[in-house]
Chain A
Amino acid sequence: MNNLVEINNLHFLRNNRPIFQGVDIMIPRGKVTAIMGPSGTGKTTLLRLIGAQLQPSQGQILVAGENIHLLSRHALYQLRKQMGMLFQTGGLFTHLNVFENVAFPLREHTKLSDAMIQTLVLTRLEMVGLRGAHLLMPSELSGGMARRVALARAIALDPQLIMYDEPFSGQDPISMGVLVKLIRTLNDALGLTSIIVSHDVAETLDIADYVYVIANGKVIGQGTPEAIRGENTGQLKQFLEGLPDGPVPFHYPANSLDHDLLEGAIS
């Protein structure tokens, strides 16, 4: 099978509000696939659906050929060992130092000796350039360093699939450059399949092999980065060029200004 993840006719409701309405997305093996879109369109929710942390209201998600939401708990956990996820906040365990954070999945799922775990952890930290920081606590790390440690932890068990939730948000240019390079290099060197969820257009288009843009619960555009850059349709153009007004209006829906100012209608 050429696609590691297949999302078919996905519907998802939150508090009766539709987040996804018939989304179809294919994630090919060995590629970096970006899922982009404005804030609040459910990009993080999509990753949680792929990881089966949330249940869709309709449709199916196949991961490695398995309908992930129909798996037993044991089978789901076995499949999750093949998946890594980099959370927006990093999700590092605050009571463990950098070394123990990266060692955590190895200690939980393997019976490797301490010497072997040390070798593996230091190797992973070397890949993300933080071997020298292995004794630091998460509170002593910058945001970019925390994400790199989380990345080292996410690849500790050699997963097939790795999902990045807004990896570039809030990063300075150097940290952003480091993360961009790491994501691409690790994907190619380790033979991973990567899904990047982001609204940082330039960085994401630089490293993605294929791009989906979602808005209003639907896929509004897809293609290679070059094809996406060439798109000229309303909402996609507004998103890619960062235009303040357009199909996504600058103003939140409201009564007319005259109505609110002159008639004292705000209660």
Chain B
Amino acid sequence: MITCIINSITALGRFGIDTLQELGKAGTLLFRVVFRLPDVRKGFPLVMQQVYAEGVLSLLIIIVSGVFIGMVVALQGYHTLVKFGAAQQLGPLVALSVTRELGPVVTALLFAGRAGSAITAEIGLMKATDQLSSMEMMAVDPLQRVISPRLWGGFISMPLLTIIFNLVAIYGAYLVGVKWLGLDAGAFWSNMQSSVDFHSDVMNGIIKSVVFGLVVIWISVYQGYETAPTSAGIAGATTRTVVYSSLAILGLDFVLTAMMIGGW
């Protein structure tokens, strides 16, 4: 019995130490990438390539998801609001839901699944096939050449994708509310305009997306860089990227929302 308790405490302690070590390594990686003088001449084209790979190539899934989510929110919202004779408030309902919550959260979840997992797999495979090692032996720092452009590319892409998601979702709601269910277009847009505050609604959503983008891309590059160089290792790292990113997004969303509503 006592042995069992000691073993449990030992296992808990080991888990705690391992977790702290992982966090320390991830923090060191981020520090080494962020606080290093950038080489603009070589770095800028690499970052732009990653904006294309992580941002532009994620557009399709963002746009399609945005349209459908906007349409569903409009449909659900209309059938609830109409019971209270408030169907004209559909525009504000959709806009506030999307800009404050759905836009940043859903975009970040999709970004983690589409771009984050791809980055982890790519870096993991580069490690497994000695591409990172050969880069080191050619006196080229993989952190600067591989990790940094991916991190900055994701950091830039996420807010842009969120803005596009917001616009497309609101347009999807317009199609359902105005074109299909027959709401007045003027009331739809004017109520939305008068209810949505640029700073507290739109900008706060963008700030969330910036934080989510940094966290997702940080998890993605760290998991790829530290993965075991085997097929099972890469598969596990890719899974961890999606799981950890999703949990981090949802947890941080609560924290940020509480801070924003609390008037930070």
How far apart are the CA atoms of A75 and B213 in the complex, in Å?
Answer: 35
> Chain B 130-168, CB within 8 Å of chain A: the 1/0 string?
110110111111000100000000000000000000000
How far apart are the CA atoms of A84 and B134 in the complex, in Å?
Answer: 9
B231 on interface, CB distance cutoff 8 Å: no
Contacts of B126 in A (CB 8 A): 94
A80/B139 contact (C-beta < 8 A), A87-B134, A91-B134 known: yes
A92 on interface, CB distance cutoff 8 Å: yes
B129 on interface, CB distance cutoff 8 Å: yes
A51 on interface, CB distance cutoff 8 Å: yes
> Chain B 32-54, CB within 8 Å of chain A: the 1/0 string?
00000000001000000000000
Nearest to A84 among chain B residues (CB) is: B137
How far apart are the CA atoms of A254 and B141 in the complex, in Å?
Answer: 45
A85 on interface, CB distance cutoff 8 Å: yes
Number of contacts between A and B (CB, 8 Å)?
52
Minimum CB–CB distance for A46 against chain B, Å: 14
Contacts of B138 in A (CB 8 A): 80-81, 104-105, 108, 153, 157
Let me know if B130 and A87 touch, CB within 8 A: yes
Let me know if A81 and B129 touch, CB within 8 A: no
**Considering only CB atoms and an 8 Å cut-off, how many residues of chain B contact the other chain?**
15
> Chain A 35-66, CB within 8 Å of chain B: the 1/0 string?
00000000000001001010000000000000
* Neighbour of A89 across the interface among B129, B137, B141, CB < 8 A: B129
Minimum CB–CB distance for A5 against chain B, Å: 14
Interface size class of chain A, counting residues whose CB lies under 8 Å from the partner chain: 20 to 34
Nearest to B129 among chain A residues (CB) is: A89
> Chain A 196-217, CB within 8 Å of chain B: the 1/0 string?
0000000000000000000000
How far apart are the CA atoms of A89 and B126 in the complex, in Å?
Answer: 11
Let me know if A53 and B134 touch, CB within 8 A: no
* Neighbour of A91 across the interface among B133, B141, B145, CB < 8 A: B133
Let me know if B137 and A92 touch, CB within 8 A: no
How far apart are the CA atoms of A105 and B136 in the complex, in Å?
Answer: 11
Let me know if B139 and A81 touch, CB within 8 A: yes
Let me know if B137 and A53 touch, CB within 8 A: yes
Contacts of A53 in B (CB 8 A): 133, 136-137
A187 on interface, CB distance cutoff 8 Å: no
> Chain B 94-119, CB within 8 Å of chain A: the 1/0 string?
00000000000000000000000000
How far apart are the CA atoms of A105 and B126 in the complex, in Å?
Answer: 17
Let me know if B139 and A91 touch, CB within 8 A: no
Given A80-B138, A93-B131: 14 more A-B contacts, CB < 8 Å: A83-B137, A85-B137, A87-B134, A88-B130, A91-B129, A91-B130, A91-B131, A92-B131, A94-B129, A94-B131, A104-B138, A105-B139, A105-B140, A108-B145
Please provide the 5 A-B residue pairs with the shortest distance between their CB atoms, ordered closest to farther: A91-B134, A91-B130, A80-B139, A77-B139, A87-B130
Taking beta carbons and an 8 Å cutoff, which residues of A are in contact with B? 48, 51, 53, 77-78, 80-81, 83-85, 87-94, 104-105, 108-109, 150, 153, 157
Taking beta carbons and an 8 Å cutoff, which residues of B are in contact with A? 42, 125-126, 129-131, 133-134, 136-141, 145
Selected A-B contacts with CB under 8 Å, 25 pairs? A48-B133, A51-B137, A77-B139, A77-B141, A78-B139, A80-B136, A80-B138, A80-B139, A81-B138, A87-B133, A87-B134, A88-B130, A89-B129, A90-B130, A91-B131, A91-B133, A91-B134, A92-B131, A94-B125, A94-B129, A104-B138, A105-B138, A105-B140, A108-B42, A108-B138
